[in-house]
Amino acid sequence: MDFIQFYINGGVFNHAITITAAIGVLALALHARALKLGQTSDDGLRVVDRLVVLCVGFGLLGTLFGSIDLAAALQTIPAADYDLGRARGMTLVVIPLAWSLMCAIPLWIASTVQSRRPARQPART
């Protein structure tokens, strides 16, 4: 399975996860810029931490809705094909959660690293 197929199989929740992660990356970049300017506020990192939780929440929600869709789809297939359909469906159901973790974990690690970096002192003139 290539990346595009993986992303499409995740459904609309993958878009929400990607947008949330992109906003988190932007917040990290803004925080890094603020550190270079000598500001010490951690407001940007608190936003990133909340976005990480939101990413995982979207993944869990996508998995839940995928499970509901899978249960409905399994009701429409013949009993002889039930095990094959369930096996294929279960591989698709977890895609939003997997994508959310692939986005959230690096974002969380970057946020943790940024929180440990000291602010630069502005140059004296």
The predicted structure's pLDDT at residue 42: 79
Distance (Å, rounded) from C-alpha 21 to C-alpha 100?
9
The predicted structure's pLDDT at residue 121: 64
pLDDT digits (tens, 9 = 90+) for 47-77: 999 999 999 999 999 999 999 999 998 999 9
The predicted structure's pLDDT at residue 125: 59
The count of domains in the chain is 1
| Residue span of the structural domain in which 106 resides | 8-116
Residue at 109 is within a domain: yes
Burial (CB count within 10 angstroms: exposed 0-12, middle 13-18, buried 19+), residue 59: buried
Distance (Å, rounded) from C-alpha 39 to C-alpha 1?
45
Residue at 46 is within a domain: yes
The residues of the chain scoring below 70 in pLDDT are: 1, 118-125
Residue at 40 is within a domain: yes
Residue at 1 is within a domain: no
Residue at 39 is within a domain: yes
| Cα–Cα separations (whole angstroms), residue 6 to 68, 72, 84, 88, 119 | 19, 22, 19, 13, 40
3-state secondary structure of 23: helix
Q: Which residues contact 50 (CB under 8 A, 6 or more apart)?
A: none
Residue at 60 is within a domain: yes
The predicted structure's pLDDT at residue 6: 85
Residue at 17 is within a domain: yes
Residue at 103 is within a domain: yes
